[in-house]
Amino acid sequence: MIIDFISLPRDRRAALIRDVIHHSKEKNSDLNAVVRREDEWVEHHIQEQLDKPLGGLPIIIKDNILLEGTINEACSKVLEWYVAPYTSTILQKLIDHGALVIGKANMDEFAMGASNETSIYWPVNNPHNMNKVPGGSSGWSAAAVASGMVPIALGTDTGWSVRQPAALTWIIWRKPSYGRYSRYGIIAMGSSFDQVGIFATSIEDIQTLDLLIAGIDEKDETTVNSGETVVKQSWNSREKPKIAVPREYFSDALDSEIAKIIHEKIQVLRDAGYQVDEVSLPLLDKGIPTYYTLIGAEVSTNMARYDGIRYGLQGDTFGYDKISDYITSMRSEWLGSEVKRRILTGAYVLSSSHYEGYYVRAQQVRRLLQQQVEEIFQHYDLILGPTSPEVAWDIGSKSDDPLRLYLADLYTVIANLVGCPAISVPVGEVDGLPVGMQLMGAQWSDEIMLEMVKEMG
């Protein structure tokens, strides 16, 4: 826990940081999790960080979170050797409070993926079973915390990237309401979905860091003042939160063992006096098609800047008659197949002849989904269900079938489409592999939601 770390004397913390760095190097040879160590950065900053409130808290960040003067590639060839010109707002806030960045985490290329297999580096192993994926796209950040390498890691969550790896590796993650954390300095994937989040092993640690990084940022116009984001809900700590469980969650798509664990948990909550009611979320199964239509559109827009000229690698223009031929050739060579697939789908749904039929329609469904979820939150404090329809799968077993990978996002994309906070907490095991339970809260109920989940035990 962060509180235990910061209450240690300065020299004990300094020694512990050295141990963490040493241990993480050893661990990494098994897990393939670290793409870059920041030893130089650590040496340069350790003394000043030890004297700040977080006391040099060692953290790992996903490779798409910018740290000035260091290499950030989002695990893509196109950004090879790209040196960040500035630090992302949320990381700067943590550094100002005394966090120490010890390394960058492997991830799916530009955060596109569900298994951490699309990185240009190597797939990441699950610390619970080295043949299994740790989930993606923040797989390494999750693996780093799950394996005890570091107490805290930062990831990004566009559709499930943080909650799902958390579920598959037995740790906690909370995705905030969209707008609670700044996205400035995060290499964009889908701008209306992306949110940074924290992997931790306790809700208290998430609460501590959440308060430090939440809030308005003039460099990101989608941020809101965190003080205004505490929604006025009927819940207060003397009452038990009212919980809704959409019946559509328990379809054939859900592994029967996971369903059993979630039902058992619901029973435990009922026995403890919680009101847990079955509700309906009819548009649940439209979440994935809606998300993948819109994410393609946003990805194709965000990826347009990688042209082999402005960022990262630059090729030899000799032999090209037209600049567009050069750009096509560089993008073909340096972008991975999942990124290209999304650029093509996005360009298609945004094209003038298909825009109305796909993009506009998906936005309409997103609005309807928001209404359905808001309707549930008129009567309930939390929506409970599984985080992932299945436990961690074998590395390589789905990599040639992107649609099967997309289906794994069934439960998590809803929170990103709606913009509400969600948390994944470990709740059981199937064949020794962790199972996560997801709780969604009403938009802006972030702080109160963490209290509710804590009170639920």
Q: Which residues bind ligand GLN (CB under 6 A)?
A: 111-114, 137, 157-161, 189, 295, 409
| Min separation Cβ 318 and ligand GLN, Å | 36
Between strands 195-200 and 276-279, the pairing is unpaired
Report in angstroms the alpha-carbon separations of 166 from 112, 367, 431. 17, 28, 17
Rounded to the nearest whole angstrom, what is the least distance from the CB of residue 119 to ligand GLN in the complex?
12
Q: Looking at beta carbons only, is 117 or 409 nearer to ligand GLN? A: 409
Distance, CA of 335 to CA of 355 (rounded, Å): 25
Between 208 and 416, name the residue whose CB sits nearer to ligand GLN: 416
* Given the residues 137, 147, 177, 388, the one annotated as active site: 137
First to last CA, the chain: 17
Rounded to a whole number of angstroms, the minimum distance from the CB of residue 35 to ligand GLN is: 16
Q: Supply the minimum distance, in Å, between the C-beta of residue 167 and ligand GLN.
A: 13
C-beta closer to ligand GLN: residue 89 or 158: 158
109 or 381: whose CB is closer to ligand GLN? 109
The smaller minimum CB distance to ligand GLN, of residues 402 and 434, is found at: 402
388 is catalytic: no
| 179 token code pair | 């707008």
SS3 readout for the chain: CHHHHHCCCHHHHHHHHHHHHHHHHHHHHHHCCEEEECHHHHHHHHHHHHCCCCCCEEEEEECCECCCCCECCCCCHHHCCCECCCCCHHHHHHHHCCEEEEEEECCCHHHCCCCCCCCCCCCCCECCECCECCCCCCHHHHHHHHCCCCCEEEEEECCCCCHHHHHHHCCEEEECCCCCECCCCECCCCCCCCEEEEEECCHHHHHHHHHHHECCECCECCCCCHHHHCCCCCCCCCCCCCEEEEHHHCCCCCCHHHHHHHHHHHHHHHHCCCCEEEECCHHHHHHHHHHHHHHHHHHHHHHHHCCCCCCCCCCCCCCCCCHHHHHHHHHHHHCCHHHHHHHHHHHHHHCCCCHHHHHHHHHHHHHHHHHHHHHHHHHCCEEEEECCCCCCCECCCCCCCHHHHHHCCCCCHHHHHHCCCEEEEEEEEECCEEEEEEEEECCCCHHHHHHHHHHHC
Check: CB of residue 415 under 8 Å from CB of residue 175. Answer: yes
Nearest distance from residue 436's CB to ligand GLN, in Å?
15
Nearer to ligand GLN, 159 or 287 (CB): 159
CB of 13 to ligand GLN, least distance (A): 33
Closest CA to 221 of 187, 189, 178, 190: 178
Minimum CB–partner distance for residue 155 and ligand GLN (Å): 8
Taking the complex as a whole, the smallest distance from the CB of residue 76 to ligand GLN amounts, in Å, to 13
Bridge partners of 426, per DSSP, are 436
Distance from C-alpha of 283 to C-alpha of 372, rounded to nearest angstrom: 8
Per the residue annotation, which of 24, 115, 161, 300 is the catalytic one?
161
Of these residues, 62, 104, 175, 398, which one is catalytic?
62
Whether residue 25 lies in the annotated active site:
no
CB of 40 to ligand GLN, least distance (A): 29
55/346 with CB nearer ligand GLN: 346
Q: Between 196 and 383, whose beta carbon lies closer to ligand GLN?
A: 196
Q: Is 177 a catalytic residue?
A: no
Q: Which is nearer to ligand GLN, 58 or 386 (CB)?
A: 386
Calculate ∠ Cα 395-396-397, nearest 5°: 95
Q: Any idea which residues carry the catalytic annotation?
A: 62, 137, 161
